[in-house]
Structure 1
Amino acid sequence: MNKVQIFSDSTCDLSKEVIAQYNIKIIPLYVSFGEDTYQDGIDINTKQLYKQVERSGCLPKTAAPSPGVISEYFKPYIEQEMDLVYIGISSKLSSTIQNALIAAKEFEEGRVHVVDSLNLSTGIGLLVLKAAKFASNGVSAINIANNIRNLVPNVKTAFVIDTLDYLHKGGRCSGVQHFVTSMLKIKPIIHVIDGQMSVGAKPRGKKKALSLLLNMIKNDENYLDPDFVMVTHSEAPEAAIILKDALSMNKGIDTVLETEAGCVISSHCGKGTIGILYITK
């Protein structure tokens, strides 16, 4: 049986340390300001992204890697007689999965397994870490892919949006919605359901919003997969400390990982966004 290499894309928002520890290979998406294009997490980081937005007054465009680019990432590992499992951002949010499926067809059938996470950020990352554990235990690529597909519906993803500026600039909320939520200090909670973003509760104030995130995971504590719980944020370190401290009190969680959202995710959600992500049994 061939060894297995796990792949994901830069929207999985895992830290460089975790990526190295679990031997995960990352394919970057792109962010563009005008004619300048950058590889997410390679040529530009989140702090630089926000500075560029402040200077230009406009949001970047984001784009998936082409099938040809993805194929070039896969090729060296195929040549090393490895089988690949690629887990990427939801096909309902990006064309990355479709492009990966096209790239996979360039190789012998069964060598590259593409899994649609139907998620984003560390909702993908959780599945990637599970896949990496399976790979380290000698599970075959096809079985890893099938196991991960079975876990996809069990990933819970919820983010608090601190400001609607980015959703407004990106055309994802109206001027009226932007004005009203800003005036009332509403911090909407965004869930990922069936691969798409959906607005949930609309609490007033960040403190109330964070409490709702913690209540969500508390309601699932009897069904919680203990391996990892993610606290992922975009330039919201103080809120991350609050959530991590609260989650560390839960003896049913083995590891709470804090990660920072990359450029693609941050360009859509904006500064101050923070979420809790986990898997249920």
Structure 2
Amino acid sequence: MKVAIMTDSNSGITQKEAKELGIFVLPMPFTIDGQEYEEDINLSQDEFYDKLMNGAEVFTSQPAAGEVTKFFNNILKDYDQIVHIPMSSGLSGSCQTALMLSDEEEFKDKVYVVDSQRISVTQKYDVLDAIELAKQGKDAKEIHDILMDNKLNATIYITVNTLEYLKKGGRITPAAAALGGLLKIKPILTIQGEKLDSFQKTRTMAKANKIMINAALEDIKTRIDPEHDDMSGARIMIAYTYDKEQALEFKKQVEETFPNHEIICDPLSLSVACHIGPHSLAIAACKKII
């Protein structure tokens, strides 16, 4: 069986990287000041932040069912099966749309949708693992089942630099945002499973960084990789919005806690960035399966 690996742009995998990896990335759509865009097709990271930070009205959306069907059909011209790894069903309806379509007769036993309840760098590692499993000769159902068995072995902590974008997205009230701004609150959010939740609050990014690192460390030791004292069964990642220099400084701190790990540092997907704003930082970890 010739198995294709597919994901969406919430994984942080660019169209260029997709070609290098031999996979397919479905671009997520946006509406900015009434104009339609697709991530990494006619909207770059720089263009997005330029618009966002200059007060543009940004709305996220999901690909129409017809677009997803077209994507599936184009891939199946050259492949027997597809493993599709979209963003968490708890964060977008795009996963449910893909699941619904995969049940249709034309895609039955051909398209397997992995609702691994991940996003960004943890979603990306699902894709990279899927590529390796396909190289080992596993079919789409086998890859799907392996990823689903591992889906909860992941964690993400995100510190938001400003409450402005959470307010715009309706996740907090204007009054809470105003009070938080006066007190210079830095909320730390977490993704454990399917959705984004509040974790802690602090007053500075420096304190937030320490809290996130310690929380990730605890998750790795108690849940993700309790088998290894050196945590060698875990992958550790950093994600950021807009400010790469800030992220690289954070990476140095993370490397002090995890000195024997190769730590990737990637931009957060634009779908997440528009809700949390620039200068946000995240640390993530997931269990190795290969």
- Fold-level similarity (TM above 0.5): yes
Structure 2 residue matching 1:159: 3-state secondary structure: strand
2-structure distance, mates of 1:257, 1:107: 38
1:197 aligns with 2:196: yes
* Pair 1:17–1:207, CA change in 2 (3 A): farther
Q: Deviations over 1:215-262 (max 9, x none)?
A: 123224541464642211101223311232233342442x31111123
Structure 2 residue matching 1:248: 3-state secondary structure: helix
The code of the aligned residue for 2:71 comes to Y
Q: Return the match for 1:276 from 269, 272, 283.
A: 283
CA contact under 8 A between 2:15 and 2:25: conserved in structure 1? no
* Pair 1:58–1:197, CA change in 2 (3 A): same
CA contact under 8 A between 1:46 and 1:261: conserved in structure 2? no
CA contact under 8 A between 2:155 and 2:219: conserved in structure 1? no
1-structure distance, mates of 2:275, 2:105: 32
2-structure distance, mates of 1:261, 1:188: 17
Q: Return the match for 1:103 from 101, 104, 116.
A: 101
CA contact under 8 A between 2:49 and 2:242: conserved in structure 1? no
CA contact under 8 A between 2:7 and 2:86: conserved in structure 1? yes
Structure 2 residue matching 1:153: 3-state secondary structure: coil
The Cα shift of 1:17 comes to: 6.0
The code of the aligned residue for 2:243 comes to A
CA contact under 8 A between 2:4 and 2:23: conserved in structure 1? yes
The Cα shift of 1:199 comes to: 0.4
Percent of counterpart pairs with the same letter?
24
**Partner residue, 1:259:** 266
1:219 aligns with 2:226: no
Q: Deviations over 1:105-125 (max 9, x none)?
A: 252421100011223222321
Segments of structure 1 that go 5 or more residues without pairing to the other structure are: none
The Cα shift of 1:214 comes to: 1.4
**Partner residue, 1:23:** 22
**Partner residue, 1:71:** 69
* Pair 1:109–1:225, CA change in 2 (3 A): farther
* Pair 1:144–1:252, CA change in 2 (3 A): farther
Equivalent residue pairs, number: 278
* CA RMSD, Structure 1 to Structure 2 (Å): 2.0
* Pair 1:218–1:108, CA change in 2 (3 A): closer
* Pair 1:106–1:27, CA change in 2 (3 A): farther
Q: Deviations over 1:47-77 (max 9, x none)?
A: 212222344x343111111121112112132
Q: Which has the higher contact order (CA 8 A, sep 6+)?
A: 1
The runs of at least 4 consecutive aligned structure 1 residues that moved more than 6 Å come to none
Structure 1 residue matching 2:48: 3-state secondary structure: helix
Deviates more, 1:234-243 or 1:10-19: 10-19
CA contact under 8 A between 1:231 and 1:277: conserved in structure 2? yes
**Partner residue, 1:43:** 42
Deviates more, 1:193-202 or 1:11-20: 11-20
2-structure distance, mates of 1:280, 1:85: 20
The Cα shift of 1:81 comes to: 3.5
1-structure distance, mates of 2:76, 2:141: 15
The code of the aligned residue for 1:88 comes to P
What TM-score results when the alignment is normalised by the length of structure 1? 0.91
The code of the aligned residue for 1:275 comes to A
Structure 1 residue matching 2:186: 3-state secondary structure: coil
1-structure distance, mates of 2:92, 2:278: 21
The Cα shift of 1:16 comes to: 5.3
* Pair 1:114–1:170, CA change in 2 (3 A): same
**Partner residue, 2:10:** 11
**Partner residue, 1:123:** 122
What TM-score results when the alignment is normalised by the length of structure 2? 0.88
**Partner residue, 2:139:** 140
The Cα shift of 1:209 comes to: 0.4
